[in-house]
Homo-oligomer: A and B are copies of this chain.
């Protein structure tokens, strides 16, 4: 018989990482079956209710009240758990020995050198805090989402007029003068500057630059909505202009999903005026050419990094680009020569024949999922996703895969009331097992994003799950690993754990995509009856029915031709034609009238 106990602490705000840690600590206690520790937002209360953990009194709680619920085997165990809450919180608090000012104003007095405010309070409070920061003449890294578009426009206009940056809202990643803000890979310093509306896009490019031997000057995030017509790329334009003046930055990489048309025109014009080589990866944007003045268009994130690297330490001009090696029938792996690709290639002859089975991609990085969609749609169909390129690819229920599916598990529908999958692997581990149980699945594709802000050791949780799957099923697992050996998690160590579990490691979405597309292409059949080559080998001879000029053209080119003195059947009488047609039995009923 289970006993449920709870406690509500009005106005006791803690951030979601702290709450997750408390919840896990409570569940780990003796006799505790389940626990919930959440701020009392309507969504969180609904989630508690689903788990059978919602006490009746909680319905009166306010969004900023903390609610702690414990279900245990006994009254004693439940009470013991609740009584340890303060100890557990204090244990965490004790790591923060410094004085904590209670307001931005007093924080600014404490650290007068501060030029930045990092804001990650709940969205409904975030615009106010950001405005407060701008009033203190601080640049703002605004991680919070759920900030209104009106607030974003107003904040950015205010900031723009004062020469201040507002990176975000919903900005996941930035690197300023070597320091990562939010989620960011540790990279060496260098000459490549980034501006990006895409968090994992910035991470993928900066990690790739580092892994290719280059370095990052600064990475300026803009937030996902910056490139909409409403916001007009205020932050992206500021960022471009700032990096254009920065001596340390030799090449600028601009990465985002395709902006609205007017915004794209504005940005590309500004890029042409930057006086430095610019690499543009508007993921899924069809470029007019490989280069446009000083702009080089990249087709994917890995390539953006490669082009940038080749352009650095050069004159500001477009690159003479050598495309990467591609897979031939003899060398199966399209991955670049990295430490991982070399290891993979040893298993070439053991490729499972998964061509008639489905691919399921479970992503934590939205941009990584989107770029994967972009690549796989070239060869896999039908293909579904909650981040579709075309609306026809939209997955009706993101919790249920169908055919080939790529899921961004960092999307709102998965993270409401939960931590992001880059921090918390739980939801993804559950989905991983769900996909593995589907007999139609032949390949599972995961991303693992390392760096500041991310889970401290994702492989420790993912590798055992992968090993368990591979023990039971003939399923291949590919992992796109975004990270550097300088990251707190150490990418080499992560890769080793994942490979030991049987996963193949790729350094970017397109490396994995190339491998998948190559294999699927093999399974496609040709046309039913091949056309005889004689048609191409014999001198052309033709009968012309219709325009005299075509007949004359054939003759003038030296071809044999006959012109038919064609007249409409039945003198063009449509009724009579229809009767004749029925009598002959070979005239289509679907013909349309012609206006010509």
Residue of B107, B287, B566 near A543 (CB, 8 A) is B107
Q: Which B residue sits closest to A288, measured CB to CB?
A: B375
A344, B159: Cα distance in complex, Å: 45
Q: Check A113–B538 contact: CB distance below 8 A.
A: yes
Tell whether A94 is near chain B: CB-to-CB under 8 Å.
no
Among A135, A510, A560, A561, the one with the most B-chain Cβ atoms within 10 Å of its Cβ is A561
A510, B290: Cα distance in complex, Å: 11
Q: Check A289–B293 contact: CB distance below 8 A.
A: no
Interface positions of A from 440 to 487, Cβ below 8 Å from B? 452-453
Q: What band does the interface of chain A fall in when counting residues whose beta carbon is under 8 Å from B?
A: 35 or more
Tell whether A432 is near chain B: CB-to-CB under 8 Å.
no
Complex copy number for this chain: 2
Interface positions of A from 110 to 147, Cβ below 8 Å from B? 110-111, 113-129, 131-133, 135, 138-139, 141, 143-147
Report the minimum CB–CB distance from A35 to chain B (whole Å): 19
Task: Give A290-322 as 1s and 0s: 1 = Cβ < 8 Å from B's Cβ atoms.
Answer: 111110110110010000000000000111111
Given A15-B546, A378-B264, check contact A165 B535 (CB 8 Å). yes
Give chain B residues whose Cβ lies under 8 Å from the Cβ of A180: 553, 557
Selecting from A51-59, A76-84, A197-205, A268-276, the interface stretch reads A268-276
Among A13, A303, A374, A381, the one with the most B-chain Cβ atoms within 10 Å of its Cβ is A381
Residue of B101, B382, B588 near A148 (CB, 8 A) is B588
Q: Check B261–A377 contact: CB distance below 8 A.
A: yes
Give chain B residues whose Cβ lies under 8 Å from the Cβ of A594: 41, 63, 122-125, 144, 146
Task: Give A562-596 as 1s and 0s: 1 = Cβ < 8 Å from B's Cβ atoms.
Answer: 11111111011110000001000011101111111
Given A123-B592, A533-B242, check contact A273 B524 (CB 8 Å). yes
Tell whether A241 is near chain B: CB-to-CB under 8 Å.
yes
A382, B262: Cα distance in complex, Å: 7
Q: Check B124–A536 contact: CB distance below 8 A.
A: no
Residue of B17, B122, B163, B299 near A530 (CB, 8 A) is B163
Residue of B144, B383, B518, B560 near A272 (CB, 8 A) is B518
Given A118-B543, A453-B549, 17 extra CB contacts under 8 A: A11-B567, A100-B562, A102-B566, A113-B538, A114-B561, A123-B591, A123-B596, A125-B591, A129-B566, A144-B594, A154-B590, A181-B542, A186-B557, A242-B535, A289-B375, A291-B326, A317-B326
Of the A-B pairs whose beta carbons lie under 8 Å apart in the complex, a sample of 20, sorted by A's number, is: A41-B595, A64-B571, A116-B541, A118-B545, A120-B544, A121-B545, A123-B591, A133-B545, A146-B592, A180-B557, A181-B550, A265-B379, A269-B379, A286-B286, A288-B376, A288-B378, A292-B379, A320-B323, A417-B596, A452-B557
